[in-house]
């Protein structure tokens, strides 16, 4: 896993107050993979109320944009973190 990807994962962990185990993080290839992982980890928190993956996707895309410099509107859920977004 590249430094860019590690920094992105740390940023996501900090924002959502979660810890993604290394073996799980290594399998996160697309933006959708990250969204699904975060959603699974926080969906049952009572303080979140009703939380949908759309909100999580918006936040994840904003964090990716911040780390990569790619405009938010150019980041799609199906994009590969390394191949499409160049975070390697």
Number of domains in the chain: 1
- DSSP of 44-71: T-GGG-S--HHHHHHHHHHHHHHHH---
| pLDDT tens digits, one per residue of 51-71 | 778 999 999 999 999 999 999
Is the residue at 86 inside a domain? no
Is the residue at 85 inside a domain? no
**Per-residue tokens: 64:** 């990716």
- Rounded to whole angstroms, the Cα distance separating 61 from 20 reads 17
Q: Is the Cα torsion angle 68, 62, 70, 25 positive or negative in sign?
A: positive
Is the residue at 81 inside a domain? no
Enter the pTM of the model: 0.91
| pLDDT tens digits, one per residue of 4-29 | 999 999 999 999 999 999 999 999 99
Is the residue at 40 inside a domain? yes
Is the residue at 82 inside a domain? no
Q: Name the residue range of residue 21's domain.
A: 3-74
């Amino acid at each position: 896993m590249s430094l860019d990807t590690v920094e992105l994962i740390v940023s996501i962990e900090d924002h959502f107050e979660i810890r993604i185990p290394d073996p799980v993080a290594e399998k996160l290839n697309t933006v959708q993979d990250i969204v699904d992982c975060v959603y699974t980890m926080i969906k049952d928190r009572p303080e979140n109320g009703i939380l949908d993956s759309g909100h999580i996707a918006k936040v994840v895309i904003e964090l990716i944009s911040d780390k990569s410099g790619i405009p938010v509107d150019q980041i799609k859920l199906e994009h590969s973190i390394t191949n499409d977004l160049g975070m390697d």
